[in-house]
Structure 1
C-alpha cells in the first residue's frame, strides 16, 4: 500500500524530499516537515551516468520510510524498464516517478564505434507500468516555457501522460508562480483527477551559478534572479534563500497543489532552517505570501522570471503545409486505405521478403525514398502517420510522443537544432491536427526490429490496422 497515494487521495499536503544516489552515504529522513508528512525520493542518474540505482539506494534505508523511485529513460529501452519493474515489485516499492531524462553525459549520436544512444519515453514507461499494476505512477511536466509552440508541445504531451495512466504530476524546478498557476488551472479545466506537486529548491547563488554554467536542462535562471542572489550574498542575507523557499511551498499549497518535491535540501540543518520559515509564514493567506515573495525577489513587472526571448524558430511555411498534405495523401493511398492494406498484406506475407538479399534491397529502397524527405533512419516501425510526417528519429533522443522538458525557447537541449516537437506543434495548429498530438499514444520501437523494413512490418502486423 502506498502511503503517498493515501496522502494525495485525502488532500493531505506532503513534502517529497529528493536524495541523490551518487554516493552510498545514508541521510537522516524526517517523518514530517513543519507538520507536513514526508516521503523520500531517490533520483536517477543526476550526478553521473553511473550513479547508484534508486532501487539499490532504497535498500540502504529502513523499509518503513516511504520512498519514490525515479526512473530516467536515458540510455535505456523498454526491456531495461521491464526488468526494473520486476525488481521494484519484488522489493515492494510502489511509488515511481517516470522521466525521459536529460541528456546522458556520455551521449552517442551513432557511428561505427558506438551505436546511437536512445531514450525510453515516459509515456511508454507509464503504459508498461500500468500493465504491471500495483504501482503509483508520477510523471514530470515543465510549465516554464515562454514560446507558444514550445509551451503547446509540453501541454500536448502532458495530455498523453494523463491518458497513459499517470497518477500524479511533478513540475520541473522553477520560480514563476504564474506558470504554476496556469498548469493548475489547466488541470482543473480538463477535469483531471491527477494531483500535482511543484518542484522547489532553496536557490543559493552557488546553485544558480552551477545550473547556468552547466546549462541544466529546462531550468530558467534569469539575469534578474542572479542579480538578486548576488546582492544578497554581498550583504550577508543568507536566510532569504530559505524564506523564499518556504513562501513558494505555501503559495503552492494555497494554489491547490498536493505537495512539493523538495530538491537540494537533504541536510538536517537545511531542513530545520526551511521548517522555521514555513512555520513563521503558515498563517499568512495567499495574497500576503505573494506580496512577501515579490518583495524578496524584487518583482516589479511580473516578468522577472521570464528568459530573454530569442527567435530560433520560423513560422510554418506554405512549403511545410504542402509537404504535410502530400505525405498525408501518399500515406492514406499506399498504406492506410483498405485496398492498400489488402494488397500489401498479400504481397508481403510471402517468405520471399525474408531472404537476406531481398530484405536488404527492400530496406535500402525504403531508406533512399524516405531519408532525404523526412530523415528516416530505418527504425522498422514507421510512425510518420502519427507524428505529422516529422520523423521522431530526427530528435537526438528519438522521442515520438512529444518533447522532453529540456528545451529552451524552442531550441533542443543539445543546442544544435530547433526542437522537432515545437515544429510539430506549430504545424499541427496550421493544419488543424492538434488532437493527434494530445491523444495518439505511440508505442516504443522494439529493439529487435530496428534496421528492418517498416513497409514489410506494417503490412504483416494486422493488429495495427484498426
Structure 2
C-alpha cells in the first residue's frame, strides 16, 4: 500500500500521473490501462495518480480509471479537485471512494474552469484544501460537528490524505503564503505532500530545509515532470497555471530536438530524481505526456546507474527562474551551520489599513465602550424586522462603498487586511492563495495582482510566517447566511460562545 511505503524510511517511493482525456471509449482509456499493467508487472511504481479535470477542462472522472486500477492490483491516487464540488458532493464522493476501495486522495483546489459548453462554467470552491483536509480528519472519527451543535454520524472513513505545495514561487509574498498554507494543511490532517512541478534544485532543497526547521517529518514527494518540447513552449508561455518553465530549459530542449537527442529529457529526469533522493525526499511523483512505460522504466534504470556512477554538475538538470526570491539565503551555503531565513518584507503597501483596524477595534471588540454599545445595538436591532432591515441597509451601504461587500453574512475582512475575498479573489479563498499565480499575478485575471499578494503587501510589517500559519484556519462559510447581517451574526456568535462557556463552567 502507498501508506506503508511512504512511511518506510528504507523505501524510496515512485508514483506516476495518469491523465484521462475527454471521452470514454477504448481509444482514450486503453493506453492508461496498458501503462498500469506494465507498471504493475515492473513493480517499482507504487501508485498511479489520476487527474481530475486538469486545466479546468472536463475529462473522464478519475473514479472510472481508479476502479480499473484496483481490479488490476495497483493502487490509485485520486486527485480530488475542489473547483467543481460543493461540500455535499465532497461528502458524497468520499462515501463513493470508500465503497469502491479507493483509499488515497490528493486534495487540491484545482485550475479555474475553462470555457466550455455555452461558455465558462460556474466555479464552486465551496471548501478550500485546508477545510477539506480537516473534514476528512473529522470523518475519520465517524462524525463531524455542524453549526447547530449536533453531530453527523457515519462509519469512520480510512483515507490517506495528500496535499500539494509549490516551493517554486518567484515573489516573496507568493512563496511565504505557500509555506504558511502548507503548515495549515499539515495541521489539518495531511498525511503526505507532493510538490508542484519545478526545475530549480535549490528550491527543492529549500522545502526540505524548511520542514526540517519546523520539526516536521511528513513524507514528501518531489514532482519530476518530463515535458515534450511543444508542452515546454506552452508552459513557458504561461498556458498552464502555477507552473514556471525557465526559458533556459526551453532553449536547451530546442537544441536537443535539433540534434535528435530523443532521450535527453529522460536523462535529465533521471538526474533530477537521483539528486532529489540526496535532498531528503521520500519519493518522486513522475509525470509527463506521451510517455510509454518503457520510457519511465528507462528513467528508473538510469537512476540506479547514477547512484553507482555519481552525479555530474548541476547545470545538466538545474534550471532556476531568474529573479527568484528564496526563503533561505541563496545560493544555499555548503557550510554545516544552520541556514538563515531571509528577512521578510510584508506591508510594502499598507494603504488605509490602520483606519480599518481602528474601526474594527472600536466597534467589534469589547476593548472600548463603543464596541460593547455597538454589540447591544446590533442584537437589539435583530429582535424586530423593521429594525433589522434598517441595520441591513446601513451595513450594506457602508460596506459596499468601502469594501465592495457582497453581503456573504460571515465577514472575514479582518483576516485579509480588510480586502474582501468574495469580491477580489475569483476563487473566493479565505485561508490563503491557490497555487495558480505566476510572477505575483492572478491565475484567472493575469493583468491583476493575486489577491493574497495584495493582502501580504498590506499586512503589518512585523508579520512573520509563523503568525500567518498560526492556528486556527477559518472554517467553511455557512451560505445559509448569505444576504444576512454579518454584524448581527458576529455578535450573536459571540453571545452563543459566552453562553456555552457559562454552561460548561456551571
Q: What range is the shorter-chain TM-score in?
A: 0.7 to 0.9
Pairing 1:121–2:145 present: no
Mark the CA change 1:335 to 1:202 in structure 2 (over 3 Å): closer, same or farther.
same
Residue equivalent to 1:164:
188
SS in 2 for 1:306: coil
CA deviation after TM superposition for structure 1 residue 342, in Å: 6.3
State the alpha-carbon separation in 1 of the partners of residues 384 and 447 from structure 2.
39
SS in 2 for 1:173: coil
Choose which of 61, 72, 90 in structure 2 pairs with 1:53. 61
Mark the CA change 1:275 to 1:128 in structure 2 (over 3 Å): closer, same or farther.
same
SS in 2 for 1:274: helix
State the alpha-carbon separation in 2 of the partners of residues 186 and 383 from structure 1.
29
Q: How does 1:60-71 map to 2 (within 5 A)?
A: 60-63=68-71, 64-71=73-80
Residue equivalent to 1:289:
311
CA contact (8 A) 1:14 1:260 kept: yes
CA deviation after TM superposition for structure 1 residue 330, in Å: 2.0
CA contact (8 A) 1:100 1:119 kept: no
Superposed CA deviations along residues 149-176 of structure 1, whole A, max 9, x for unmatched, are 2211211111211121211111001111
State the alpha-carbon separation in 2 of the partners of residues 363 and 437 from structure 1.
32
Residue equivalent to 2:432:
402
Residue equivalent to 1:453:
485
SS in 1 for 2:115: coil
SS in 2 for 1:67: strand
Residue equivalent to 2:91:
82
CA deviation after TM superposition for structure 1 residue 221, in Å: 1.1
Query: Number of aligned pairs?
Result: 445
Residue equivalent to 1:426:
457
Residue equivalent to 2:15:
16
Quick one: higher RCO (CA 8 Å, sep 6+), 1 or 2? 1
CA deviation after TM superposition for structure 1 residue 401, in Å: 0.9
Choose which of 409, 413, 416 in structure 2 pairs with 1:387. 416
Superposed CA deviations along residues 53-87 of structure 1, whole A, max 9, x for unmatched, are 22233123334321111111113322221222222
Mark the CA change 1:59 to 1:353 in structure 2 (over 3 Å): closer, same or farther.
farther
Superposed CA deviations along residues 366-408 of structure 1, whole A, max 9, x for unmatched, are 2321233333221111112222323222111111111111111
SS in 2 for 1:263: strand
SS in 1 for 2:254: helix
Choose which of 268, 286, 296 in structure 2 pairs with 1:271. 296
Mark the CA change 1:370 to 1:204 in structure 2 (over 3 Å): closer, same or farther.
same
Residue equivalent to 2:320:
305
State the alpha-carbon separation in 2 of the partners of residues 88 and 114 from structure 1.
25
State the alpha-carbon separation in 1 of the partners of residues 475 and 116 from structure 2.
23
Superposed CA deviations along residues 90-111 of structure 1, whole A, max 9, x for unmatched, are 2222211000112111399x9x
Pairing 1:41–2:49 present: yes
CA deviation after TM superposition for structure 1 residue 350, in Å: 6.3
Which moved further from structure 2: 142-151 or 48-57? 48-57
CA contact (8 A) 1:13 1:37 kept: no
Choose which of 216, 221, 244 in structure 2 pairs with 1:197. 221
Mark the CA change 1:52 to 1:446 in structure 2 (over 3 Å): closer, same or farther.
farther
Choose which of 218, 221, 232 in structure 2 pairs with 1:208. 232
State the alpha-carbon separation in 1 of the partners of residues 207 and 200 from structure 2.
11
Residue equivalent to 2:4:
6
CA deviation after TM superposition for structure 1 residue 8, in Å: 1.4
Residue equivalent to 1:249:
273
What runs of 5+ residues in structure 2 fail to find an aligned partner?
A: 141-157, 326-344, 502-506
Superposed CA deviations along residues 178-199 of structure 1, whole A, max 9, x for unmatched, are 0000000000110112111011
SS in 2 for 1:103: coil
CA deviation after TM superposition for structure 1 residue 137, in Å: 0.8
CA contact (8 A) 1:15 1:33 kept: no
CA contact (8 A) 2:70 2:76 kept: no
Q: TM-score, normalised by structure 2?
A: 0.79
RMSD of aligned C-alpha atoms? 3.1
Q: How does 1:335-350 map to 2 (within 5 A)?
A: 335-337=364-366, 347=377
CA deviation after TM superposition for structure 1 residue 238, in Å: 1.0
Residue equivalent to 1:412:
442
CA deviation after TM superposition for structure 1 residue 118, in Å: 4.1
CA deviation after TM superposition for structure 1 residue 245, in Å: 0.8
Residue equivalent to 1:368:
397
CA deviation after TM superposition for structure 1 residue 315, in Å: 7.9
Mark the CA change 1:377 to 1:435 in structure 2 (over 3 Å): closer, same or farther.
farther
State the alpha-carbon separation in 1 of the partners of residues 393 and 236 from structure 2.
44
CA contact (8 A) 1:74 1:120 kept: no
State the alpha-carbon separation in 2 of the partners of residues 456 and 448 from structure 1.
14
CA contact (8 A) 2:17 2:50 kept: yes
Q: TM-score, normalised by structure 1?
A: 0.86
CA contact (8 A) 2:378 2:391 kept: no
State the alpha-carbon separation in 1 of the partners of residues 489 and 346 from structure 2.
35
CA deviation after TM superposition for structure 1 residue 20, in Å: 1.3
CA contact (8 A) 1:75 1:120 kept: no
CA contact (8 A) 1:152 1:425 kept: no
Residue equivalent to 1:378:
407
Which moved further from structure 2: 395-404 or 56-65? 56-65
Residue equivalent to 2:106:
97
CA deviation after TM superposition for structure 1 residue 359, in Å: 5.3
What runs of 5+ residues in structure 1 fail to find an aligned partner?
A: none
